[in-house]
């Protein structure tokens, strides 16, 4: 069986890996220069800062087993189950995991041994494959003109944008902080201590904006650097002037969805919009598509 996977985020990589393990011939096309999608780390000042997903949660047994394998190899570590809330009291929830080498290092590990074409942007759904997997946000999948059943599912997805600001300070001057949810703020939704998250104590904070702040600034995200840094300083009571790098995520957060994927039988749509938006959800969706394709091939 010949399968094309479009998108080398965690959903696409999970799908391709499962397909390859099942004996399918798989080729992955990724329009970016690196794998990972929103499992993204940007090299700034000699180190990687996580600019996409802030962490991952592993409460599915199979994904938790993968996280433990990553931990055994030194690729991931349990980070914290408690985050601050501004204003308010800290909140305790599931264990959040982080990656000492940046979260993209996990995508790189999943990509090992796969046939991946980077900087390879497709303009349409390939017609020379037995199955095609669109592992991407629905609005991006629509650009490839997928069949009606998949297009309808893609249009049904609701996505919100985010601006991610990496703020590098001269020194650490904030109290101990894993990360924080920022409530009812006109600019910020979250702040994370990247030095704490990565375990190297670097004086780096990564802030994610609200969708309302990001939406009118997507055309020129760098112009928002000053406002984002000022908001971080305001929330944490800081006075330093950080160097700021801003990254635009046009499709950052999907609304919670149902099922595990959408398909017309040959073209499949996968990703974290199928369930609670999480890294784990994307992995489960990609794997579910692969298993369905393999099961379909054995029935023929």
**What percentage of the chain carries pLDDT values higher than 90?**
96
Predicted structure pTM score: 0.96
| Residue 120, pLDDT above cutoff 70 | yes
Tokens 């996505």 locate to: 159
Contact between residue 67 and residue 76 where contact means Cβ atoms under 8 Å apart: yes
CATH 3.30.565.10 given to domain 54-101+159-254: no
Q: Which residues does 101 contact at the CB level (< 8 Å), separation at least 6? A: 41, 48, 75
Give pLDDT tens digits for 262-291: 999 999 999 999 999 999 999 999 999 999
How far apart, in whole angstroms, are the C-alpha atoms of residue 96 and residue 110? Answer: 20
Give pLDDT tens digits for 6-46: 999 999 999 999 999 999 999 999 999 999 999 999 999 88
Same-fold call for 2-42+103-156+260-299 versus 54-101+159-254 = no
* Cα dihedral 31, 288, 148, 10 in deg (nearest 10): -20
How far apart, in whole angstroms, are the C-alpha atoms of residue 147 and residue 156? Answer: 14
* CATH architecture classification, 2-42+103-156+260-299: 3-Layer(bba) Sandwich (3.50)
* Averaged pLDDT score across all residues of the chain: 97
How far apart, in whole angstroms, are the C-alpha atoms of residue 289 and residue 85? Answer: 37
How far apart, in whole angstroms, are the C-alpha atoms of residue 98 and residue 81? Answer: 11
Domain borders along the chain are 2-42+103-156+260-299, 54-101+159-254
Mean pLDDT, range 80-107, rounded to an integer: 97
């Amino acid at each position: 069986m010949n399968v094309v996977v479009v998108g080398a985020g965690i959903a696409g990589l999970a799908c391709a890996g499962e397909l390859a393990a099942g004996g399918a011939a798989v080729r992955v096309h990724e329009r970016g220069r690196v794998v990972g999608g929103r499992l993204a780390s940007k090299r700034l000042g000699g180190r990687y800062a996580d600019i996409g997903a802030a962490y991952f949660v592993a409460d599915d047994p199979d994904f938790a087993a993968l996280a433990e394998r990553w931990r055994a190899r030194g690729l991931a570590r349990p980070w914290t189950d408690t985050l601050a809330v501004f204003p308010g009291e800290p909140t305790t929830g599931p264990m959040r995991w982080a990656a000492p080498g940046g979260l993209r290092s996990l995508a790189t590990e999943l990509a090992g041994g796969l046939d991946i074409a980077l900087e390879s942007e497709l303009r349409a759904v390939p017609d020379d494959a037995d199955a095609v997997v669109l592992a991407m946000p629905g609005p991006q999948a629509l650009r490839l003109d997928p069949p009606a059943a998949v297009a309808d599912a893609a249009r049904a997805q609701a996505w919100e944008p985010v601006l991610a600001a990496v703020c590098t300070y001269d020194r650490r001057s904030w109290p101990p902080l894993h990360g924080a949810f920022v409530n009812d703020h006109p600019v910020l939704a979250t702040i994370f201590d990247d030095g704490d998250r990565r375990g190297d104590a670097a004086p780096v904070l990564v802030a994610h904006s609200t969708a309302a702040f990001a939406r009118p600034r997507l055309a020129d995200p760098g112009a928002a650097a000053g406002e984002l840094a000022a908001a971080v300083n305001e929330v944490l009571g800081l006075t330093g002037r950080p160097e700021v790098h801003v990254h635009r995520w046009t499709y950052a957060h999907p609304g919670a969805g149902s099922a595990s994927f959408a398909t017309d039988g040959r073209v499949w749509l996968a990703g974290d919009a199928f369930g609670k938006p999480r890294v784990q959800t994307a992995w489960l969706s990609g794997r579910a598509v692969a298993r369905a394709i393999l099961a379909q091939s054995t029935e023929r």
